[in-house]
Amino acid sequence: MSSSFSSNSMCLSLGEQSSKVFILSKPSSFFAKPCRRNNKNFHVSCSNDNANKNNGDDHEKNVARRNVLVGLGGLYGASNLAPLAYASPIPIPNLKSCGKATKEGSIEVDYSCCPPTPAEWNNIPYYKFPPMSKLRRRPRAQQVTEEYIAKYQLATRRMMDLNEKDPRSFKQQANIHCAYCNGAYKFGDDVLQVHFNWLFFPFHRWYLYFYERILGKLIDDPTFALPYWNWDHPDGMRLPPMFDRRNTSLYDPRRNPHVRNGTIIDFRFGGDEEVSTDVEQTVTNNLTSVYRAMITNAACPLQFFGARYLLGTNNTDDAGTIEKMPHTPIHVWTGTVRGTALEDGRTSFGEDMGNFYSAGLDPVFYSHHANVDRMWNIWKGLGGKKRDIKEEDWLNSEFFFYDENQKPYRVRVGDCLDTRKMGYDYAPADIPWINCRPTRKGREGKVDSTKFDLENKVFPITNLNKPISFCIKRPKTSRSQEDKIEKEEVLMFKGLKYDRSKYIRFDVFLNEDENVNADELDKVEFAGTYVNLPHNHAHNNNKRDNGETFQLDITESLEDCGLEDDDIITVTVVPKKGGGAISIQSVAIEFLES
């Protein structure tokens, strides 16, 4: 793909539309108002630099509900019931009881992922941000200079040259992800897991914060900032070139060979599948997927962040929208093909990026997650109010890290909500996906729902080895704008089970049948995607026997498909990868209230 793709040209087939960004009076509080009359370049800054230029009051009064995406606070549905009285926030793990991590199932990692244990384990202080004279500005990986690349290579090389017992060493930094994500830490029968729940964003934000500061310390540059791999832009939908230079500290020979030489990523696939669409359609599909993940399917905080995760309660695995897509496919696309031979002859489990335990061994991991972190900043700006979760159980959850001086600290989720207070920000970049709300219809008219069985006659299903269509009754139709602001209409797939060691993906369409063209996502019928990154089960007790719940916000999709007044709608589920390993207990439509 050439750099000729731009925010001006992407998604033109979706109708002539673009967006303007208005900066409100509060930091990180800006919203996007689509303007369908023209197509202008624009960018969103995640900083406060222009925070007071426009208070947005005149615009906010007249912006449609779905384009403002007002902040709704914490939202609760069937899979996110109020926590039990004895539930509590996640504390830092007990390092003295840290054990073996597993690649998947009972297959253990052949080295310890546990960090060095501080001498005064019972007296680890809370971290306080040091004074700063200048914000660290994280640059786009596609726009860095040769001088920057040399500095980044040097910092990474020095980290790799540290003694492996040093908590700042590259191996120990990678082990942080292994320990927190592959079962080394346990609370009783529960295995600590920071994916598939509301800890995903804050854990990785703190993780990158200390990693970045360690790199800066090693080259005596407190202003050094990690680059972000902005895969949400056409120019970034391939491996950043600085990571594709052999014999440098940023190169990982265990990456899948297909990531080399500027190959474009297709968010729909994660392995060696041959991309069946042309480059332009692939780019448009990718941008549409980001739009769905950031806007359509993420109106509620717990949809964006992921399900509650507490001690002493029956937690539900339900990853947030960005974690599912495109975060997960990029991991799998970059790692080795599972089942192939590694350089030492061992069988691959997706190393490095394609498995949690080894993901941090690829330097590109940190740039990938820098963009994930940036998406959090951008998402908060899509509404007229701050959108972070207000629940104390989230704000008071804690993690453990070493800083750049090898000192151990505990950190709180509630202290990482403002990146500027943490001392860093992101260089601005165009966000063309915000133009990609689908307007094109894949079919004329409506599917005859009488041709399909109701969901209670279709489910449960034991394997999703082919597309299935069913119709489902809506509890309420013809909702007012006020009702839509208060409640999101959500399609709930309940009792979702599969082999967690497999890469799983299926797409969901409204007003389509089994003959849907699933290679074109830039149409109103495409509602969203479920994706699983191969991993060890996060919990080894019986609390998860009922399976996962996949929530898909369909309020905007119903509007665009012209189905708001229909009491029965048709849903089609199309497996893209690993469908034979998927079973679904039931499907329902419910409403999430603010």
End-to-end CA gap in the chain: 42
Sign, Cα dihedral of 533, 539, 540, 546: negative
Rounded to the nearest angstrom, the gap between the alpha carbon of residue 195 and the centroid of all alpha carbons in its chain is 10
Tell me how many degrees the CA angle 203-206-212 measures, rounded to the nearest 5. Answer: 135
| Beta strand pairing call for 526-532 and 468-473 | unpaired
Helix extents (H) in 324-447: 328-334, 364-381, 392-395
Beta strands in 47-143 (DSSP E): 102-104, 107-108, 136-138
Do 1 and 279 contact (CB within 8 A), yes or no? Answer: yes
Of 343, 358, 152, which is closest to residue 241 (Cα–Cα)?
A: 152
Phi, psi of 94 (to 5 degrees): -85, 105
CA distance 294 to 289: 9
Which positions are annotated as active-site residues?
Answer: 177, 195, 204, 327, 331, 356, 369
CA distance 113 to 177: 8
Q: How many CB atoms lie within 10 A of CB 135?
A: 16
**3-state SS assignment for residue 333:** helix
Residue type for position 317: D
Q: How many CB atoms lie within 10 A of CB 147?
A: 8
DSSP-assigned states of every residue in 496-564:
EB--TTS-EEEEEEES--TT--TT---STTEEEEEEE-----SB-SGGGTT-EEEEEE-HHHHHHHT-T
CA distance 531 to 498: 11
Sign, Cα dihedral of 205, 206, 212, 216: positive
CA distance 527 to 322: 15
**3-state SS assignment for residue 207:** helix
Element (H, E) at 263: none
> Per DSSP, what are the bridge partners of residue 530?
506
Tell me how many degrees the CA angle 137-143-149 measures, rounded to the nearest 5. Answer: 80
